[in-house]
Amino acid sequence: MSVLAYPPVRGIVGTNWTATALSVRGRGVARALKCETVAQAIALGVDRVRTGNDAANAPILHLNETMGYQLVAGGISYLRPV
């Protein structure tokens, strides 16, 4: 899977939740899915997209870099039980 994620009110559209089944990994499926998601964004008139990733996930870091994503400063999430 790979999806376009729109912020609730405003902000940059994301290409999120890219994942493939263990049985198909290493065959270009994630790259194809993420390219399709970017193509959908272009077709919808989106002028830029953002993605997030685990900084220790080498395959997705490689994919993102070769697709042209550029590093921005990382964020820190503060979570509190409610």
Which residues contribute to the site for ligand COA (CB under 6 A)? 18-20, 25-31, 53-54, 57-60, 62-63, 66
- How many H-runs (helices) and E-runs (strands) does the chain carry? 2, 3
CB nearer to ligand COA: give 43 or 58. Answer: 58
Eight-class DSSP state of 14: E
d(CA 53, CA 61): 7
Q: How far is the CB of 82 from ligand COA (least distance, A)?
A: 26
Q: Which is nearer to ligand COA, 1 or 44 (CB)?
A: 1
